[in-house]
Structure formats: structure tokens, C-alpha cells
Amino acid sequence: MTANAFDTEITETAEALIGPWRQPRQMLQAQTYDAHASIHDDATAQKLGFKGGTIEGPTHFSQFAPLCERRWGQVWFERGCLSAHYRSVCYEGEEVQAILMASSDEQPECQIQMVKRDGTEVLRGTASIVDSPTALDLRLRELKPLADPVILRDVQVGVTGKRQPVRMAFDQNMGDLYPFSLRQKLAVITESSPYYSGADNPWGKPIIPMEMLSVLFQYRSKDDPLPAKGPAVGLFADQEIRLLKGPLFEGEEYEVEREVVALSGSRRTESAWVKTRVFDKAGTMVAAILLNMATLKESYAPYEEEHRQLYGAGR
């Protein structure tokens, strides 16, 4: 017998599994990239119209883990997929709740939603353990190509980066992008589990929480950066984490390879959609992450001037 994965109190109805209200902790106040602060820094975020430093998006994935484990059991840790579009930011101290809607034979994936106390939707998407269309599969099909790029004008769809070795040990600081360790995260994670901290689980060694897979897959991305213009401030707008042969384990060596799969834009942002494929020591693909890093146009100081030079007036 192994320990139960979670002791989270879950409300079950005919329509959904509903988690408790939680207050996620903000751990990226000291994050830097391109030698400047990020959207998670209070002063930087306030200059761009936010109330303060925002909670990093994948933090919210932890609240769905107990719901998905209740729905699918052990296989969730081996072949689970969360696919989400972030709808609004969350600040430290705000309470949020995760909701997993029921599935059906016709639609095996489950709709997911996270809301604040006032009803504001933080994210929406899908959870699944099968190779069915995800929320971001559908969004990618509907994307309008990026028109008149400035920040991303030198980034090309199809470009693939070099493979990079990555690992995550309990007391390993994850660098400028993620200035904390796995142990520090586990001390404040919204849903704790003995599976994360020891060997009392079906695999006999500690596994990495899904929210920390984002850290593992991304923390060396600046060693092989996209040729985007900067300095500029970005935020995660969409994210999908898919386990293929999981779970992934603390202290083990993996390799990651990134590919730009789409470029898109909005009134305020230019977005690079990057798929990261993750391989174990035998070269087997074990996981993948799709990330839409949306860069705020207003955070790139010469944006208007360079747009006029490239495309003329009339933006």
C-alpha cells in the first residue's frame, strides 16, 4: 500500500468536482530576464496597468491535480494533460477555486475552470488522459497570423532550438527565471502530496508536480533564446502540459527541445507559441509543453517608432 496522493477536500456533484478555495503564493518577485524585472515584480507590473506582481500561471495547475487524480486515478500522473487559456491575472491574497466538469463517452476530455470569489474567471480549458482535442488545439486552429510584427519580426515559425539537458533536485535553485527551489515551492504549494516529497508512491521515488514541470522545461530557455526584440515584458497567455510517459522525477536528467509552432497577436501583445518536447535518458519523449508567451507591445520602448519605420503610419 502507498499513501493517498492528496487529502484535499473535494465537493462532488453530478456535474463537477470542485476544489476548496485557495490563496496561491507568488514566488517570482525576484525573477529577472533580459537583465530586467518581470510582470511578477510589483513596480514593473504597476507601470503596465496591473495592481501588482501577478501569480505565475502554472501555479494554478496544482489545484486541478487532486480533482484529476479523483477522476482518473494513478494514470493521471502518467498520461495527464492540462490545457488552459489564462483569462485574467491573480494576485497574492486572492482566493481561487478549481472546477473539473464531468466528461462523457462522446467527450472524454473534461472542461476545467478556475474562478475568483467575485466570479472572475482566471482560466478555462480542458483536462484529459487521452489523445483527444485539447483547449489549445482548438485555439491554434482559430489563430489569426501575426500581422506587422515588431518585437517578433525576426522569429520564424518552424525554428527549432538545440537540445538542452535539464534536471530539478530538491535544493537546486532554478536560476534567474525561477529564483527558488523545488523544496521551497513544496513548502507553500496549494495542494501538498507525499508523492512529491518522498518514495511513498507507486513509482518509489519523488515526482515533480505538474506546475513545476513548467519550471523544469523553461528554466534554461534563455540559454537559447528566440531572436525577439527587447527589453520587453511578457506573460503566459496560454499553456498546455502533457505527460506521455510520466511521471517525471526529482533529480533525474532529461533533455528538452523547443520549436516555434505559431505566431499570433492582439491589440496589446505579440505572441510566440513554443512547443517544448521532453526526452528521458533513453531518448524517449516523455512529456511536452505548449506555451504562448505574449509580449506586451507597450513594454518595448521603441515599439511605435519601429512600427512606423517598418510599416508606415496607421497602426
Question: Nine-digit cell at 257?
Answer: 527541445
The tens digit of pLDDT for each residue in 183-211 reads: 999 999 999 999 999 999 999 999 999 99
Higher pLDDT, 178 or 15: 15
Does pLDDT of 70 surpass 90? yes
Confidence of residue 2 (pLDDT cuts 50, 70, 90): confident
pLDDT at position 51 = 54
Query: What average pLDDT does the segment 47-58 reach?
Result: 65
In degrees, rounded to 5, the angle at the alpha carbon of residue 299 between the alpha carbons of residues 155 and 301 is 90
